[in-house]
Amino acid sequence: MTQDDLLFQMKLRVWDNALDKVAFHKAMRNLDPSISDVQIKAIFATLKNDEQTVPVNELVRNFTGQPFETVDYRNEVFKKVYAEIYPH
């Protein structure tokens, strides 16, 4: 998926303001309606900055970057989702 495809699916523009939790949730639902709330929460927690928002350019870079940029991110998200579902 290209950057333009991702932005189109999520109904975002690269110059949009950083996404708060509600806007991020809506964008993720636009991308994949089957994604769970737990998964969205874990992805948001991984990507958020100190202002508790996710800049659109950071979101795009993590979702469409080169494999060496996204493999660690994907593994980190899987760990967080697993920990949310199976806390012990």
Q: Give the model confidence (pLDDT) of 45-59 as tens digits.
A: 999 999 999 999 889
Both structure tokens of 76: 């980190």
pLDDT score of 69: 55
Q: What is the pTM of this model?
A: 0.74
Q: Where are the domains of the chain?
A: 3-85
Determine the average pLDDT of the residues in 23-36.
95
Could you tell me the CA-to-CA distances from 38 to 2, 4, 7, 15 in Å, in that order? 26, 26, 22, 27
| Percentage of the chain exceeding pLDDT 90 | 57
pLDDT score of 23: 97
Total residue length of the chain: 88
Higher pLDDT, 46 or 80: 46
Both structure tokens of 60: 């795009």
